[in-house]
Chain A
Amino acid sequence: DGGITQSPKYLFRKEGQNVTLSCEQNLNHDAMYWYRQDPGQGLRLIYYSHIVNDFQKGDIAEGYSVSREKKESFPLTVTSAQKNPTAFYLCASMKGQGEGTQYFGPGTRLLVL
């Protein structure tokens, strides 16, 4: 089955802790994206990557970091600098930048203890 997987489904963060959200795709897509969704809000772009070893900041990158060491993987780290991390995080991929449909993973819900 081709698709995008995100893990874990739920993640709990303690004060001052960094946590990493996993995103993996087997669609052979070049472009990958991370979005944040807050209740009653649209999705907002955190980071994106169009090619391995390259990524760009989105609209709300502060307090987050990413890496793109493999085409299939685009993990997101929520650092202690992100003061309001509670949200639903969605990863997406697309065949090529600007081309066609974006496909989304099932999401990770991050909660603060």
Chain B
Amino acid sequence: DQQVKQNSPSLSVQEGRISILNCDYTNSMFDYFLWYKKYPAEGPTFLISISSIKDKNEDGRFTVFLNKSAKHLSLHIVPSQPGDSAVYFCAARDFGNEKLTFGTGTRLTIIP
């Protein structure tokens, strides 16, 4: 049972445009959400997070939006740069349980 879903396995975006990566979840006990970025041959690195008490968190070119009623979060990258090409994972933490549940990842390709 996939509690965190990233329905788009891949996404291609023109350099300079906005990249929008989506993530849906089913467990209403999730209270904290994170996005990770992964380059080939490297481990995932933390990108940005959001608590369930917020609906938006911004860090430079990266903004995460959370819609609790829809159980949906999205990551916006603007403007997109070639170095953003990577696999992006969303992850969620269960309240009271420190385990992270990850989505299956979206491969983002930025076209120069």
A binds B: no
